[in-house]
Amino acid sequence: MTRREEILKAAQHAFLKYGLNKITLDDIAQECGINKTALYYYFKNKDEILGQMFLMKYNEFREQVDSAVMEADDIRIKLRTFMLMKINLMLENMPFINLFEKEGLPSRAKKFLTEHRQKIMDFDFKLIKGIIDKGQRRNRISSQLSESLVLMILGVTYGSFMGKFMEHADWNIEAMVDTTIEIILKEIE
């Protein structure tokens, strides 16, 4: 891990501890165990730290999900892995997600997050589409995939997270994911 990455990990703890609006560069430096001047060697300001922190977390998510999905060889297992990993990663990172959902986010940070949310959605869409396309090439799926099928999978994934963790619904997520995959694949095979 580079020094820059170490600072971003420590900064994440500081942001979670103090919140976006109250945190100072001094707080971040203290959490990192360096002086404020040393932070300027790596970052221009607090907004850049926040943005780079988000990018680091995004890249970690993406690499973990992509790696796990690519290890699976069956379309059902790939889809199940994607859906469950995505939901579990969001759950594990709820404090970090909540940090970005709070009011008072600086306008530059809001713009940055909006742009990167789209990147996340694009990545997820391409990954799911690739899984289905590969299944079609292996003749395991006989009908053409429509974009709405990918959106249904993503809808269940994000909807399950929202229901389970944001609204505290008592859902059996694994059963929901398995049923969703079975219904979708049964209809197109």
Q: Is the domain defined by 47-188 classed in CATH 2.60.120.380?
A: no
Please, are residues 58 and 140 in contact by the beta-carbon 8 Å criterion? no
Structure tokens at 64: 């973990």
Please list, in sequence order, all residues whose beta carbon lies within 8 angstroms of the beta carbon of residue 152, skipping any fewer than 6 positions away: 180, 184
Structure tokens at 126: 């391409």
Reported as a single tens digit per residue, the pLDDT across 128-156 is 988 877 766 655 554 455 677 888 888 88
Q: Would you say residue 21 has pLDDT above 70? A: yes
Q: What is the pTM of this model?
A: 0.80
Residue 75 and residue 131: Cα distance in Å, rounded? 6
Please, are residues 58 and 116 in contact by the beta-carbon 8 Å criterion? yes
Residue 75 and residue 96: Cα distance in Å, rounded? 31
Class of the CATH domain delimited by 1-43? mainly alpha
Q: Tell me which DSSP letter residue 20 carries.
A: T
Reported as a single tens digit per residue, the pLDDT across 67-125 is 999 999 888 899 999 999 998 888 888 887 777 666 566 676 677 777 778 888 899 99
Per-residue pLDDT at 27? 92
Domain boundaries, the chain: 1-43, 47-188
